[in-house]
């Protein structure tokens, strides 16, 4: 078989950066822009500093913790971060989360982590009264450095393992 043959399975590792933050140059000088005053750079840099501080998790782990989000990916599967982010926008609308709440989460957590938060909210949607209010609270806590996705994902993974055992 040719090494370039078509393969339908999802390839988990992706060496191409898909984060909007990874694709953007780190300063205006790299884009050929004028040098900004220090106060303007500081005001712009603060919102972008938080997403880089939040820990990123492997996509495979996110999909194990939040399997329902795959239903909203292309052809009912998610193989790449861009597909997860697209599915999160669909879920956001379905759960009644306002575009402004999701945009704020993207700005504070980063687009990938905001998508993970939406996937986690989808998993627990039956237990959450207001998905939009919940996302805004997570965003507020993330901005204050009081929220990380790790404990939420671990809890969902444990819940999925125990529910798998009960159905087996």
What is the structure's pLDDT at 78? 98
CA separation for the pair 45, 49 (Å, rounded): 6
For the chain, what is the radius of gyration of the CA atoms? 18
Q: What is the mean pLDDT of each run of 10 residues along the chain (168 residues)?
A: 47 44 39 45 43 76 97 96 98 98 98 98 96 98 95 93 67
What is the structure's pLDDT at 60? 96
Q: How many structural domains are present in the chain? A: 1
pLDDT 10s digits, 130-158: 999 999 999 999 999 999 999 999 999 99
Examine residue 4 and state whether it is found in any structural domain, yes or no: no
Strand intervals (E) in 45-156:
none
Examine residue 69 and state whether it is found in any structural domain, yes or no: yes
Nearest to 143 by CA among 52, 21, 56, 50: 50
135: domain range? 55-167
Examine residue 141 and state whether it is found in any structural domain, yes or no: yes
Examine residue 116 and state whether it is found in any structural domain, yes or no: yes
Examine residue 9 and state whether it is found in any structural domain, yes or no: no
Examine residue 159 and state whether it is found in any structural domain, yes or no: yes
What is the structure's pLDDT at 145? 94
Examine residue 133 and state whether it is found in any structural domain, yes or no: yes
Examine residue 139 and state whether it is found in any structural domain, yes or no: yes
What is the structure's pLDDT at 162? 73
Note the pTM of the prediction, 2 decimals: 0.69
């Amino acid at each position: 078989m040719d090494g370039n043959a078509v393969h339908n399975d999802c390839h988990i590792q992706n060496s191409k950066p898909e984060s909007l933050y990874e694709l953007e140059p780190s300063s205006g000088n790299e884009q050929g822009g004028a040098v900004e005053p220090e106060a303007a750079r500081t005001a712009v840099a603060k919102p972008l500093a938080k997403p880089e501080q939040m820990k990123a998790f492997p996509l495979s782990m996110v999909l194990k913790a939040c399997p329902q989000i795959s239903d909203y990916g292309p052809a009912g599967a998610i193989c790449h971060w861009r597909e997860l982010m697209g599915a999160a926008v669909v879920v956001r609308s379905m759960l009644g989360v306002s575009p402004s709440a999701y945009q704020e989460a993207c700005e504070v957590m980063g687009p990938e982590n905001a998508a993970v938060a939406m996937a986690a909210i989808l998993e627990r949607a039956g237990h959450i009264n207001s998905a939009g209010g919940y996302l805004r609270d997570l965003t507020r806590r993330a901005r204050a450095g009081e929220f990380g996705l790790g404990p939420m994902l671990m809890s969902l993974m444990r819940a999925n393992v125990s529910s798998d055992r009960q159905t087996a």
